[in-house]
Amino acid sequence: MVTIVLTVVAWGLCENPAHGQQITGQVSMEGRLFTQDALRDNLYPANVSIAIEPEFYQELNDGRQSLTVVPFFRWDEHDSERTHWDVRELDWEYFARDWELRAGVRKVFWGVTESNHLVDVINQTDLVEDLDTEAKLGQPMVNLAIIQPWGTLDLYALIGFRQRRFFGADGRPGIPFPFNSDGAKIDGGKFGWAMRWAHTAGPMDIGVSQFHGTARDPRFFIGDQPIVIADFIRSPFPSIDTQDPVIVPGYEVIDQLGVDAQLTMNGWLLKFEGINRWGQGSRFAAMTGGLEYTLGNLRSSGLDLGLLVEYSYDDRGIEALTPLEDDVFLGGRLAFNDVQTTEVLAGTVLDRTSKASFLLVEASRRLGERSTLDVRIRSFVGVPPDDVFLYGIRNDDYLQASWTLYF
Amino acid sequence: MSLNTALLSVAGHPVENGRCLSRGVISVALVIAMALAASTWAFADQRGDEIAREADRRDAGWNDMIAELEMVLRNRQGEESTRALRSRLLEVDADGDKLMIIFDRPRDVRGTAFLTYTHRSGPDDQWLFLPALKRVKRISSNNKSGPFMGSEFAYEDLASQEIEKYTYEYRRDEILDGRPTFVVERVPVDSSSGYTKHVAWYDQEEYRLAKIEFYDRKDELLKTLIYRSYQQYLEQYWRPDEMYMENHQTGKSTVLRWSEYEFQTGLTARDFDQNSLRRVR
Average pLDDT, chain A: 88
Q: Please count the residue pairs, one from chain A and one from chain B, whose beta carbons lie less than 8 angstroms apart.
A: 107
CB-CB contact of A191 with A213 (8 Å) = yes
Supply the DSSP string of B179-245, one letter for each residue: EEEEEEEEEESSTT-S-SEEEEEEETTT--EEEEEEE-TTS-EEEEEEEEEEEEETTTEEEEEEEEE
- Whether A75 and chain B come into contact, CB under 8 Å, resolves to no
Instruction: Check pLDDT > 90 for residue B32.
Output: no
CB-CB contact of A30 with A51 (8 Å) = yes
Question: Lowest-pLDDT range, A260-264, A295-299, B175-179?
Answer: A295-299
Question: Which residues in chain B are contacts of A93 at CB distance < 8 A?
Answer: 279
Instruction: Check pLDDT > 80 for residue B136.
Output: yes
Q: What is the pLDDT of residue A13?
A: 45
Q: What is the pLDDT of residue A363?
A: 97
Same-domain pairing of B71 and B110 = yes
Same-domain pairing of B97 and B227 = yes
Distance CA B72, CA B255 (A): 5
Mean pLDDT across the stretch A394-400?
87
Q: What is the pLDDT of residue A3?
A: 53
Q: Closest Cα of chain A to B173: distance in Å?
A: 32
* Residue range A2-406 in CATH 2.40.160.10: yes
Residue among B275, B276, B277, B280 with most chain A CBs within 10 A, to mutate: B275
Query: Does the model's pTM come out above 0.90?
Result: no
Return phi, psi of residue A254, to 5°. Answer: -130, 160
Distance CA B158, CA A327 (A): 41
- State the amino acid at position B70 in one-letter form: E
- Which among A156, A148, A153, A179 has a CA at the least distance from the CA of A166? A179
Which positions ≥6 away from A369 have C-beta within 8 Å?
B81, B82, B105, B106, B107
Find, in chain B, the residue whose alpha carbon is nearest to that of A338: B150
Flag if A366 and B140 touch (Cβ within 8 Å). Answer: no
CB nearest B281 (choices: A57, A339, A370): A57
- Which among B146, B153, B182, B108 has a CA at the least distance from the CA of B258? B153
Distance CA B103, CA B115 (A): 12
Same-domain pairing of B41 and B157 = no
**pLDDT digits 0-9 by tens, A229-258:** 777 765 555 555 555 678 899 999 999 999
Which positions ≥6 away from A289 have C-beta within 8 Å?
A113, A271, A272, A273, A310, A311
Mean pLDDT across the stretch B20-49?
72
Distance CA A84, CA A78 (A): 12
CB-CB contact of B256 with B243 (8 Å) = yes
Same-domain pairing of B32 and B117 = no
- Whether A342 and chain B come into contact, CB under 8 Å, resolves to no
Residue among A105, A292, A297 with most chain B CBs within 10 A, to mutate: A297
Q: How confident is the model at residue A2 (pLDDT cuts 50, 70, 90)?
A: low
Mean pLDDT across the stretch A255-282?
96
Same-domain pairing of B92 and B174 = yes
Instruction: Check pLDDT > 70 for residue B248.
Output: yes
The half-sphere exposure of A317 on its side-chain side, counting CA atoms within 13 A, is 3
Distance CA A19, CA B68 (A): 13
Same-domain pairing of B43 and B166 = no
Supply the DSSP string of A207-263, one letter for each residue: EEEEEEEE-SSPEEEETTEEPPGGGG--SSPPPGGG--SPEEEEE-EEEEEEEEEEE
Mean pLDDT across the stretch B32-45?
65
Q: How confident is the model at residue A4 (pLDDT cuts 50, 70, 90)?
A: low
Distance CA A141, CA A193 (A): 9
Residue B105 lies in a domain: yes
Flag if B138 and A262 touch (Cβ within 8 Å). Answer: yes
Using DSSP, state whether B132 is helix, strand or coil. coil
Flag if A147 and B273 touch (Cβ within 8 Å). Answer: yes
Question: For residue A392, what are the CA distances in angstroms to A106, A175, A178, A221, B126?
Answer: 33, 7, 11, 19, 42
- State the amino acid at position A118 in one-letter form: L
- Whether A2 and chain B come into contact, CB under 8 Å, resolves to no
Axis crossing angle, helix B3-11 with helix B18-58, rounded to the nearest 10: 170
- Whether A64 and chain B come into contact, CB under 8 Å, resolves to no
CB nearest A369 (choices: B106, B137, B146): B106
- State the amino acid at position B42 in one-letter form: A
Which positions ≥6 away from B161 have C-beta within 8 Å?
none
Same-domain pairing of B98 and B179 = yes
Mean pLDDT across the stretch A138-142?
97
Q: What is the pLDDT of residue B202?
A: 96
Mean pLDDT across the stretch B183-212?
95
Total number of domains in chain B: 2
Question: Which residues in chain A are contacts of B194 at CB distance < 8 A?
Answer: 297, 300
Q: How confident is the model at residue A19 (pLDDT cuts 50, 70, 90)?
A: low
- Whether A147 and chain B come into contact, CB under 8 Å, resolves to yes
Q: What is the pLDDT of residue A235?
A: 53
Same-domain pairing of B115 and B193 = yes
- Whether A239 and chain B come into contact, CB under 8 Å, resolves to no
Q: What is the pLDDT of residue A238?
A: 53
Percentage of chain B beyond pLDDT 70 is: 89
- What's chain B's length in residues? 281
Distance CA A60, CA A72 (A): 23
Distance CA B119, CA B98 (A): 9
**Beta strands A185-186 and A247-251, pairing class:** parallel
Question: For residue B131, what are the CA distances in angstroms to A338, B45, B108?
Answer: 21, 47, 10
- Whether A369 and chain B come into contact, CB under 8 Å, resolves to yes
CB-CB contact of A358 with A380 (8 Å) = yes
Same-domain pairing of B161 and B35 = no
Q: What is the pLDDT of residue B38?
A: 62
Flag if A264 and B143 touch (Cβ within 8 Å). Answer: no
Which positions ≥6 away from A229 have C-beta within 8 Å?
A176, A177, A220, A388, A389
Give residue limits of the domains in chain A.
2-406
The half-sphere exposure of A281 on its side-chain side, counting CA atoms within 13 A, is 17
For residue B54, give the H/E element and its range.
Answer: helix B18-58
Question: Lowest-pLDDT range, A360-374, A380-394, B249-263?
Answer: A380-394
Q: What is the pLDDT of residue A38?
A: 73
Instruction: Check pLDDT > 70 for residue B37.
Output: no
Q: What is the pLDDT of residue B4?
A: 44
Question: Which residues in chain A are contacts of B137 at CB distance < 8 A?
Answer: 112
The half-sphere exposure of A145 on its side-chain side, counting CA atoms within 13 A, is 23
Flag if B275 and A370 touch (Cβ within 8 Å). Answer: no
| b/e B61-75 (16+ beta carbons within 10 angstroms → b) | ebebbbbbbbbebbe
Residue B55 lies in a domain: no
Q: Closest Cα of chain B to A78: distance in Å?
A: 26
Distance CA A386, CA A233 (A): 9
CB nearest B81 (choices: A198, A262, A369): A369
**pLDDT digits 0-9 by tens, A33-81:** 998 877 766 678 899 999 999 999 999 877 889 999 999 999 999 988 8
Q: For residue A203, how many other CB atoms are within 10 A of its CB?
A: 18
Question: Which residues in chain A are contacts of B116 at CB distance < 8 A?
Answer: none
Mean pLDDT across the stretch B205-214?
96
Percentage of chain A beyond pLDDT 70 is: 89
Flag if B142 and A296 touch (Cβ within 8 Å). Answer: yes
Fill in the DSSP letter of residue A406: E
Flag if B146 and A304 touch (Cβ within 8 Å). Answer: yes
Q: Closest Cα of chain B to A395: distance in Å?
A: 29
Distance CA A331, CA A305 (A): 10
Question: Lowest-pLDDT range, A157-171, A333-347, B190-204?
Answer: A157-171
When comparing pLDDT for A381 and B171, which is higher?
B171
Flag if B106 and A109 touch (Cβ within 8 Å). Answer: no
Looking at residue B264, which CATH number applies to its domain?
2.50.20.10
Q: How confident is the model at residue B42 (pLDDT cuts 50, 70, 90)?
A: low
Flag if A297 and B123 touch (Cβ within 8 Å). Answer: no
Same-domain pairing of B29 and B95 = no
- For the stretch A81-88, contacts whose Cβ atoms lie closer than 8 Å and that sit 24 or more positions apart, written own/partner, are A81/A128, A81/A165, A81/A166, A81/A167, A81/A168, A81/A171, A82/A49, A82/A128, A82/A167, A82/A168, A82/A171, A84/A126, A84/A128, A84/A165, A86/A126, A86/A137, A86/A138, A87/A138, A88/A53, A88/A136, A88/A137, A88/A138
Find, in chain B, the residue whose alpha carbon is nearest to that of A271: B138
Distance CA B132, CA B129 (A): 9
Triad B161, B165, B167: Cα angle to 5°: 115
Flag if A372 and B108 touch (Cβ within 8 Å). Answer: yes
- Whether A67 and chain B come into contact, CB under 8 Å, resolves to no
Q: What is the pLDDT of residue B13?
A: 46
CB nearest B194 (choices: A152, A297, A304): A297
Same-domain pairing of B84 and B132 = yes
Flag if A205 and B110 touch (Cβ within 8 Å). Answer: no
Burial class from Cβ neighbours inside 10 Å (0-12, 13-18, 19+) for residue B98 reads buried
Binding-site residues on chain B for chain A (CB distance < 8 A): 73, 75, 81-82, 105-110, 123, 125, 133-135, 137-140, 142-147, 149-150, 154, 192, 194, 216-217, 268, 270, 273-276, 279, 281
Residue B58 lies in a domain: no
Q: For residue A277, how many other CB atoms are within 10 A of its CB?
A: 23
Distance CA A168, CA A77 (A): 12
Same-domain pairing of B20 and B75 = no
**Domain range spanning residue B122?**
64-278
- Which among A286, A289, A290 has a CA at the least distance from the CA of A314? A286
Residue B56 lies in a domain: no
Instruction: Check pLDDT > 70 for residue A133.
Output: yes
Q: Closest Cα of chain A to B147: distance in Å?
A: 6
Q: How confident is the model at residue B41 (pLDDT cuts 50, 70, 90)?
A: low
Q: What is the pLDDT of residue A16?
A: 40
Residue B57 lies in a domain: no
Instruction: Check pLDDT > 90 for residue B24.
Output: no
**pLDDT digits 0-9 by tens, A161-207:** 999 988 877 778 877 677 888 888 999 888 999 999 999 999 999 99
Distance CA A201, CA B203 (A): 41
Instruction: Check pLDDT > 50 for residue B98.
Output: yes
- Whether A373 and chain B come into contact, CB under 8 Å, resolves to no
CA dihedral A294, A300, A303, A307 (to 10 degrees): -20
